[in-house]
Amino acid sequence: MTLQIESFQEYKKVYKESVEKPEKFWAAQARTFTWMKKWDKVLEWNFKKPDIKWFIGGKLNITENCLDRHLKSRGKQTALIWEPNDPSRPYQSYTYQELYEEVCRFANALKSNGIKKGDRVCFYMPMVPELAIGILACARIGAIHSVVFAGFSANALADRIKDASCKMVVCSDYNSRGAKNIPVKEIVDEALNQGCKSVETVIVHKNTGGAVKMKKNRDKWWHDVLKGQKKECKPAKMDSEDILFILYTSGSTGTPKGVVHTCGGYMVYTCFTFKNVFQYKKGDVYWCTADIGWITGHSYIVYGPLLAGATTIMFEGVPTYPDPGRFWHVCEKHRVNQFYTAPTAIRALMAQGDQWPGHYDLSSIKVLGSVGEPINSEAWHWYDEKIGKGKSPIVDTWWQTETGGILISPLPGLHKLKPCYAQLPMPGIQPCLVDAEGKEIKKKEAEGLLCIKFPWPSMIRTTYGDHERCRQVYFSTFENLYFTGDGARRDKDGHYRIIGRVDDVINVSGHRIGTAEVENAINEHAQVIESAVVGFPHDIKGQGIYAYIITDGPVADKEVFKKEVNAVVTEVIGPIAKPDRIQIVAGLPKTRSGKIMRRILRKVAAGEADQIGDVSTLLNPEVVDSLKEGQKEAL
């Protein structure tokens, strides 16, 4: 098993070793896994191209490490607990042996349906065990999974299927989320009608049992393809640098990009960080409330915990259904020891009152985690007092889809906590702050742009089908550095506090949304001439979406217009990208070269127009006053 650090002294020692001799450090971690062939060389890297390779020449299968190697020691231990949306339904659990068999059966079914090593399989599913089983089955046979969050629209799904040329889509009939019943299969059909020519087969898992249309020769039921499949499936021999999965994420410009993670490094890093950040001990029950549609679910519901031989919970529902006590009820029911969620959920539950956690026995909780966005002080303290009862350290974990695993985080019980700080880098991680010119700020106490100087095993390798884009977005801003897109502050002890994105990405309820994507969607409305989208502070979501829209004439009914804009955005992207506020404007502040001055738009949206400062360099300074006026009446 990978190293588990047990004291702050040890952390300091290990950290020092890991940056002085990174290859030696990571080789020692990698050696604790099962390899079909050992690597020849630990690392080759070049941030210019970029070209990053870990455990070169090594052969492995991640599922052999998630499943097979635990069978002897933990075959009967629960690997996965599934808690359904409806609390009156029984939960399900799978031992390591059972999960192994289910994964092998579905892996064989994939093979019988023409899926081979290297083929891409898209998953568009709710949080049901079959999603975890499905992606592990892909990994078992060397197929590449691309999970698309089931809240995305048919359009967004189609774009992602086409970008990765997926050969198969795996979905459910319906998705029950809270009181809603979402017709998942129907959305898949709509997506596939948009020219997804690569898709040969659709496998449909019967979740609610509601009626669906099945297309002949294309659509098959999950339970049918499993019939007669063997419970054994030889794991495919994968190269360390073969692709494990693609996961789409939003950036400042253009369409979402497919972040590529590879087998060897991702395995080593997610297991190592899982064990250390959550201080997971044998027998603990760990729960991460994320959705597998996002990186948190990939790394810290499925891969990290299973690699570490943990018991991991998967939750189908939402925090407020059937009531705002649901999370705490689940914690009590399964005696959860590590609980990992997003600040937006904490704020939403905090707003419902202290009585909800008060009804439940939360004494099993040892570690609390936060991820996805900066956690504000009020939420941090509520989480600490009402959930952790002041005795469970909070790990504010900072990382990204591109980083594959947690890069900066406190180690619970080992560090003295500093509220709202992600604190210290994990072993092997070399963060730095740079100024706008890319010059490293050496002074300890400083604020700047967060970059990483040295590769780590689970870092992004490329953006699928477009390597140049990967180079441009992450490696071209500053020479020889990976640029995160985040701003951060560092205190005198070297602890980091993440401030937020410095690019045109908004973090809404912990979900990354590109402003350009939302603008493109809004512009689809027939009456819209131009739009500009910015983030603004939002009590629950962290950031909300604020859209400035120029229309082709007066808007007769503004409420109807808002509904129409929301409908268009929901159709193009999904409901998560709906603007919270819309301001109809006559013009947008532009520089003489025609660039929208977003700084001004952000200030107006935040109600901080008094801080705008000099606008004389604008092409049209007169619009600023009308923007300020209009903000008060924004829809």
- Residues near ligand PRX (CB under 6 A) are 249, 294-296, 371-374, 396-401, 422, 484-486, 498, 500-501, 507, 512
Residue 398 or 475 having the CB closest to ligand PRX: 398
Contacts 24+ apart (CB under 8 A), 299-303: 299/266, 299/270, 299/273, 299/274, 299/404, 299/405, 299/458, 300/270, 300/274, 300/340, 300/406, 301/132, 302/66, 302/132, 302/135, 302/136, 303/62, 303/66, 303/266, 303/267, 303/270, 303/271
Residue 409 C-beta: closest distance to ligand PRX, Å: 8
Residue 505 C-beta: closest distance to ligand PRX, Å: 7
Residue 400 or 583 having the CB closest to ligand PRX: 400
Note whether 39 and 26 are within 8 A (CB). Answer: no
Residue 370 C-beta: closest distance to ligand PRX, Å: 6
Residue 304 C-beta: closest distance to ligand PRX, Å: 12
Note whether 125 and 131 are within 8 A (CB). Answer: yes
Residue 43 or 379 having the CB closest to ligand PRX: 379
Measured from each CB, the residue nearest to ligand PRX is: 401
Residue 452 phi, psi (nearest 5): -125, 135
Residue 299 C-beta: closest distance to ligand PRX, Å: 8
Residue 335 C-beta: closest distance to ligand PRX, Å: 26
Note whether 406 and 459 are within 8 A (CB). Answer: no
Residue 229 or 515 having the CB closest to ligand PRX: 515
Residue 375 C-beta: closest distance to ligand PRX, Å: 7
Query: Distance between CA 600 and CA 209 in Å, rounded?
Result: 51
**Cβ atoms within 10 Å, residue 436:** 9
Residue 431 or 485 having the CB closest to ligand PRX: 485
HSE, CB side, 13 Å, CA atoms: give it for residue 472.
10
Residue 102 C-beta: closest distance to ligand PRX, Å: 27
Note whether 119 and 168 are within 8 A (CB). Answer: yes
AA letter at 87: P
Residue 207 or 484 having the CB closest to ligand PRX: 484
Query: Distance between CA 213 and CA 202 in Å, rounded?
Result: 12
Sign of CA dihedral 72, 74, 77, 79: negative
Residue 507 or 583 having the CB closest to ligand PRX: 507
Residue 434 C-beta: closest distance to ligand PRX, Å: 16
Residue 122 or 288 having the CB closest to ligand PRX: 288
Query: Distance between CA 459 and CA 260 in Å, rounded?
Result: 9
E strand or H helix at 507: strand 505-508
Residue 183 or 500 having the CB closest to ligand PRX: 500
Residue 472 has what DSSP assignment?
A: I
Residue 412 token pair: 């619970």
